[in-house]
Amino acid sequence: MTYHKKYMDRAIELAIENVRSNKGGPFGAVLVKNDLIIAEGVNLVTTTNDPTAHAEICAIRTACAKLSSFQLTECSLYSSCEPCPMCLGALYWARISTLYFAATKENAAAIGFDDSFIYEEITRPIDHRVITTKHSAHDRALEAFRLWSQSSKKTNY
């Protein structure tokens, strides 16, 4: 899908306005489908006490609610900044087609956001991570997976 500067203008405007109004971090995002904005998002982590309320995730949640769908195929996300691993993961789960971003994760790191650090952590073996992480074997660990595989009622995603 073709890049349109007007949508990035809007994502950046949202980011600027979010700092000015003191609602949260300096990030904005816009979701576009069929050349229309279907959802906008800003960072609301501190004002909603939700560490997952990044601009991209807010935009995805709003768009999915609007379309009554858990997938956003044929949608483009315009983000004022390169998404963190959490948001990038959300883009994949939402099956978004195209991502445009303006500032980079290095720019975000320069003003104190941990994105680059989290990118590094995710590639480390689990026993070398800052969050103490342990694979705890359990005799019923795969029971839900077996039930899922056998279920004829399930909705795949």
Q: Is 121 a catalytic residue?
A: no
The kind and range of the H/E element at 32 are strand 28-33
Nearer of residues 36 and 63 to a copy of itself, judged by Cβ: 63
Are residues 31 and 60 in contact, defined by beta-carbon separation less than 8 angstroms? Answer: yes
**Does 15 contact a copy of itself by CB under 8 A?**
yes
**Helices 85-93 & 115-123, crossing angle to 10 degrees?**
70
Q: Which two tokens stand for residue 124?
A: 């480390």
**Does 104 contact a copy of itself by CB under 8 A?**
yes
**Does 46 contact a copy of itself by CB under 8 A?**
yes
Nearer of residues 36 and 154 to a copy of itself, judged by Cβ: 154
Question: Catalytic residue among 13, 17, 40, 56, which?
Answer: 56
Let me know the angle formed at the C-alpha of 2 by 95 and 18, rounded to the nearest 5 degrees: 70
109 to 138, contacts with a copy of itself by CB under 8 A?
110-112, 114, 117-119, 121-123, 130-138
Q: Which of 25, 34, 74, 128 binds a copy of itself (CB under 8 A)?
A: 25
Tell me the DSSP string of 44-101. Answer: -HHHHT-TT--HHHHHHHHHHHHHT-S--TTEEEEEEEPPPHHHHHHHHHTT--EEEE
* Distance in Å, CB of 32 to a copy of itself, minimum: 13
Q: Which of 6, 35, 50, 74 binds a copy of itself (CB under 8 A)?
A: 50
Nearer of residues 35 and 104 to a copy of itself, judged by Cβ: 104
What φ, ψ does residue 81 adopt, rounded to 5°?
-145, 155
Nearer of residues 36 and 52 to a copy of itself, judged by Cβ: 52
The kind and range of the H/E element at 19 are helix 5-20
Q: Which two tokens stand for residue 55?
A: 């601009």
Question: Site map for a copy of itself, 60-99, x if CB under 8 A?
Answer: xx--xx-xxxxxx-------x-x-xxxxxxxxxxxxxxxx
List, by residue number, the catalytic residues: 56
